[in-house]
Structure 1
Amino acid sequence: MKKRLLRLTALSISGLAAISVDLSFGDGRNPGISGFSLISPAHADDDDDDGGSSGGGGGSSRSSDDRGSGGTWRGGGNLFDLFRRTPEKRTETRRVPVRRPTHAADEIVALGLDEPALQRLETRGFTTRSRAPLGLLPTEIVKLGVPRGMTLDDARREIADAAPDAIADFNHYFEPNENAASSTPCADGGCALVRSAIGWPSPDGTAACTAAGPIGLIDTAINPAHPALKGVKLEIVRLTDEEAPASGKQHGTAVAALIAGRQDSRAPGLLSNAELIAVDAFRRTRGETDLAETYDLVRAIDLLASRKVAVINMSLAGPHNLLLEKTVALVAERNIPQVAAAGNDGPRAKPVYPAAYPAMIAVTAVDRNFKPYRRAGRGDHIDVAALGASVWTAASIEGAAPRTGTSFAAPFVTAAVAILRASNPEMTAEEIARLVTASTEDLGAPGKDPVFGWGVLDASRLCRS
C-alpha cells in the first residue's frame, strides 16, 4: 500500500512539472502549490511594456509542449482537479492573433494607364473607382475594381496585357508604427529630458540651428487645438473621402508635437518656429485600426513633393508595393530627403516599407541608455538609430505622455535633416542622408550593422557653424 501511494505521488509531481506551472512569489520564494497560474504564450508575448528594451526579441518562446496536454488553469479549486480531466475534455483558452488583411481584396492600383488602355480594361470587366493626376509623373494613379471571380494576380496580368508600360500592384494597406503609451514613470518631466541623452540642442533659434521648412508629414489626423500646437505653423490636408471615418488623432498629434510643439507647452518640440504640412492619408476601420491605402499614400507623397518640402516624415509601415517604390524614388530624384520608421514587428521580422527602400533614411529606436528597443525592426536597410523609448510628447486631446516606438524615433532624424538642409541648401538628398549618418555615434559592430545602422544620432553635432 505504501509503495502504491509513493508511485501515485511521483506521478502527480511529474504531472505538475509537465504543465510548466509558475511556482514563485513576487519575492522569489517557492510557495509550493498555491498562488500560481498557467499562462499561454499568446498572452505572455502580448505585453505592452513599451518602455523595456533588450538586445533580442521580447516575449516568451515557450512551445505548446511546455504547457503539457492540458488547458489554461488560472487558480481556484483543487490543483489535482486539473489532472483528473481527460485530454478530450481539457480546452485551452488562447488569444489567437488577429490577422488583418494586407491589401484590398478586389482592387488594383496602377500608374501609366492611358484612356485606350482603360477602355480595354473596362470591356474586360474592370471598373474605375478613383483616379487622380500626379505631379511626379505625367500620368494618373488609378484605382481599379477587379472583375468578380478574377484573382488579383490574374488582374495584374490583364493590366500588363492592356498597357505593357504601366506599373500595377495590389492596393496595400499601411499602418502607423504605434504602440501603447510607455509605462516608464515620468515624474518631474523626466521623459522630457530624454532628448538630452543624444545632446539635442536647445531650440533657441540661433542661426546655426535653424531648421529649413516646410517639413512634410504623412500620418493620421492631428488635433490642431492641442495646447502644444496652438499657434504652430500647421497646415492639415485630409486625402481620404469625407464620408470615410476619420482616422484617430493620437498618433499624428504626438508626431507633429514632437517635431514642432510650442516651447512653452507641456510637450515642447525638437524645433522652434517649424512649419508643418501634414497630410492625413489614413482612415479608421472596423476594430479601431487606422489604415492608409497605397492609392492615398502615393498621392500624399506626391502632394508634399509638389509643395517642395525640405523633408518628409513617414512614421508608418506596410508591405512592398511597386507604386510606392517608384514614388519615393522619384521624390529622391527631386532632392527631397525622406525619413521612415523601421517598424515595431520585432528584430526577426521582415523589412517593412517604405523604410526598406534605398531612397529612404530608415530609422530604428533606442532608449536613453542606447539599448535597442526590443520590438524595433532590424536589417541591412537600417541607416540610423534615434531615441524612441519613453519619448515625451503630446497626447491626443491635451497634456502629454511618454511614447515608445520607431514612430517617435523617426522625427528626431527628420528634425536633424531639416537643420542640416538649412545649413547646406545646395546638397542633394543623398548627400544630406550621408551627412546624417556621419552625425552618429557608432555602436554595435564597427561600421554599419543591422541593429543600429551607422549608429545613434549625435545631435550635438547638428548646430555647429
Structure 2
Amino acid sequence: MPRFPLIFAMLAAMLVLELAPQGWGMQVAAAWADDHDDDDDDDDDAQPRRRPAPQQAPRVRAPAPPPAFAANEILVRGLAQPDIEALRAQGFQPLRRATLSSGETLIRLRKPRHMTMAEARAAVRARETGGSADFNHFYRPEQGPACRGIDCPARQMIAWPAGTASCGTAPRIGMVDTGINASHPVFADSRLHVHRIGEGRNVDPSGQIHGTSVAALLVGQADSRSPGLVPGAELIAVDAFHLAGKDERADAFDLIEALDYLGAAKVGIINLSLAGPHNAALARQVRLLDGAGIVMVAAAGNGGPGAKPAYPAAYEPVIAVTAVDRREQVYRRAGRGKHIDFAAPGVDIWTAASVSGARTKTGTSFAAPFVTAAAALLMQSQPGIAPDMLRVRLQAAARDLGSKGHDDVFGHGLVIPANPCMAVAAP
C-alpha cells in the first residue's frame, strides 16, 4: 500500500478527534461496551439488557378471621323425636344430645352435604318443634392485648369498699369462662368450684390464663397479691371452652349447657367475660335464667367502636359492661351501642396470672367482674332483690360519663358499688 494515503488517513483521524466535543470518545467507548455485552447473546437483533426491577418485600397477609360457627352443624332445642326422624330421612345426622335441667333436649345435627348452612337451618326450623334452630356459634374470651405496667388503682377509682365479707351473706356467683388454675395461691382459702363441660371429649382443653384472671378478680384471697372484689363469696366456675389450634372458643351448645348448669346450681348472678354472635337457642337460655331471677353480666366485647353488638351482652336481660381507663376514658377497642349499661375499670387491671403471681390485664373481660361484684354487694345488702330493681339501683348510683344521661359509649356511666356494711348499719 502507498505510504502517502496511509499518512493522510491518520492525519484525518487525528483532526476529527481534535475537533470533536470533549468527552465524545468516552461516549463511544461506553456505547461499545454496552454493545459488547449484548454480543454475549449471539443475536445481532437482541435488545439491550434491562436492569431487573427491584424486588418488593413480600406482602404479609392478614391472618384469616377465626370461624364464627361450627362447620356443618345446626343446633336446636326441644326437637321432638318424630322431627328428628324426619330430619334423618333428609340426611341430617344427630351428633350430640343433652338433656337440660328443665327436661328440654338440646341437640347438635350434622347437615346433609348438598345443603348450605342457611338451607339446613331453614329445613330444621320448618319442622314443628325446630323453631329454635340456629348455627352452633362460637364465643371467645373478651381479653384485650396484654398491657405493661404496675398495680393499677382501679378500686380507688370507683371507691370500692373494703372489709364487706362480714356484712351480710354474699350471693353464690357463677361464671362461664376458660379453665382455671384452682391450685393458684390466690385461691388458697377461696370457695371456688370448677366444673368442666364435656369432660372426656376428644378436644384440646382450654388454657387457664383468662379464667384464672377473671376468677381472681372476683374471689381472690383477700391478703394475696391479687385480692378479689368479693373474696368471701362462693364461686362456681364452668369451663365451657376448648382449643382449636390457637383459637380458644366455646360453641353455643357448650355455652348453653354451662348456663343451664349454673341455673341448676342456684347461683344468684353470672359473670360472662366472653362474646360472640346472636344465637336463637342461646337467647332462649338467657330468657329462662332471667325468668328465674338470675342476674347476668357480660363483657361488651373488644371489636372496636364500629363493631356490631356482641352477645350475650346485647341481649336485653343481660347487663352489658364496657371498659374505661383510670382517666375515665373508654377503652379504644370496646364495643359500643344502645345496649351498653355501665362502664367499669378495664385497662391495666392487676389480677392473677395463670401459674403464679399477678400481672396487669386489659379488656372488657376485666371490666365485667367489677359490675358483677357491685351487683353481688347490692344483693348482699338486699337479699331477694329482683333483677330489674337491682339494675335500677346500679343506674341510680352510677357516675355519669360522656353525654348527659345514657349514651352508646358509657351506658349509664361508671359503676359505683354500694357498701353493704353501711346499708346494714343504717336505721
TM range (shorter): 0.7 to 0.9
Give the drift of 1:275: 0.6
Is residue 2:160 matched to residue 1:194? no
Letter in 2 for 1:257: A
Letter in 1 for 2:216: A
CA contact (8 A) 2:216 2:226 kept: yes
SS of the residue 1:105 aligns to: strand
Is residue 2:83 matched to residue 1:125? no
Give me the whole-angstrom Cα distance separating, in 2, the residues matched to 1:401 and 1:162: 51
Give me the whole-angstrom Cα distance separating, in 1, the residues matched to 2:191 and 2:374: 19
User: What is residue 267 of structure 1 aligned with on the other side?
Assistant: 226
User: What is residue 236 of structure 2 aligned with on the other side?
Assistant: 277
Give the drift of 1:149: 2.2
Give me the whole-angstrom Cα distance separating, in 2, the residues matched to 1:353 and 1:124: 32
User: What is residue 238 of structure 1 aligned with on the other side?
Assistant: 196
Give the drift of 1:387: 0.4
User: What is residue 433 of structure 1 aligned with on the other side?
Assistant: 391
Is residue 2:129 matched to residue 1:205? no
Q: Deviations over 1:322-364 (max 9, x none)?
A: 1111110111111100000001111111110000010100000
User: What is residue 179 of structure 1 aligned with on the other side?
Assistant: 144
Is residue 2:357 matched to residue 1:395? no
CA contact (8 A) 2:399 2:416 kept: yes
Is residue 2:120 matched to residue 1:155? yes
User: What is residue 404 of structure 1 aligned with on the other side?
Assistant: 362
Deviates more, 1:430-439 or 1:229-238: 430-439
Letter in 1 for 2:291: E
Contiguous gaps of at least 5 residues in structure 1:
1-83
Letter in 2 for 1:298: I
Give me the whole-angstrom Cα distance separating, in 1, the residues matched to 2:84 and 2:252: 20
1:109 to 63, 75, 83: 75
Is residue 2:248 matched to residue 1:290? yes
CA contact (8 A) 1:211 1:418 kept: no
Is residue 2:364 matched to residue 1:383? no
CA contact (8 A) 1:416 1:462 kept: no
SS of the residue 1:162 aligns to: coil
CA contact (8 A) 2:124 2:130 kept: no
Give the drift of 1:86: 4.7
User: What is residue 299 of structure 1 aligned with on the other side?
Assistant: 257
CA contact (8 A) 1:385 1:456 kept: yes
Give me the whole-angstrom Cα distance separating, in 2, the residues matched to 1:278 and 1:106: 30
CA contact (8 A) 1:203 1:271 kept: no
Contiguous gaps of at least 5 residues in structure 2:
1-50
User: What is residue 90 of structure 1 aligned with on the other side?
Assistant: 56
Letter in 1 for 2:326: R
Letter in 2 for 1:200: W
Q: Please report the TM-score for the alignment, with normalisation by the length of structure 1.
A: 0.77
Give the drift of 1:150: 1.4
Give me the whole-angstrom Cα distance separating, in 1, the residues matched to 2:277 and 2:130: 23
Q: Please report the TM-score for the alignment, with normalisation by the length of structure 2.
A: 0.84
CA contact (8 A) 2:377 2:418 kept: no
Letter in 1 for 2:376: A
Letter in 1 for 2:209: Q
SS of the residue 2:133 aligns to: strand
Give me the whole-angstrom Cα distance separating, in 1, the residues matched to 2:272 and 2:237: 10
Give me the whole-angstrom Cα distance separating, in 2, the residues matched to 1:129 and 1:160: 18
Letter in 2 for 1:435: R
| Mapping 1:454-465, distance limit 5 Å | 454-459=412-417, 464-465=422-423
Give me the whole-angstrom Cα distance separating, in 1, the residues matched to 2:173 and 2:317: 18
CA contact (8 A) 2:374 2:416 kept: no
CA contact (8 A) 1:217 1:278 kept: yes
Give me the whole-angstrom Cα distance separating, in 2, the residues matched to 1:464 and 1:448: 28
Give me the whole-angstrom Cα distance separating, in 2, the residues matched to 1:164 and 1:91: 57
User: What is residue 314 of structure 2 aligned with on the other side?
Assistant: 356
Q: Deviations over 1:151-203 (max 9, x none)?
A: 111112221233355310000000000123211x21xxx32x32111100113
Letter in 2 for 1:279: V
Change (3 A) 1:215 1:460: closer
CA contact (8 A) 1:283 1:291 kept: yes
Give the drift of 1:427: 2.1
Aligned-pair identity in percent equals 45
Letter in 2 for 1:351: P
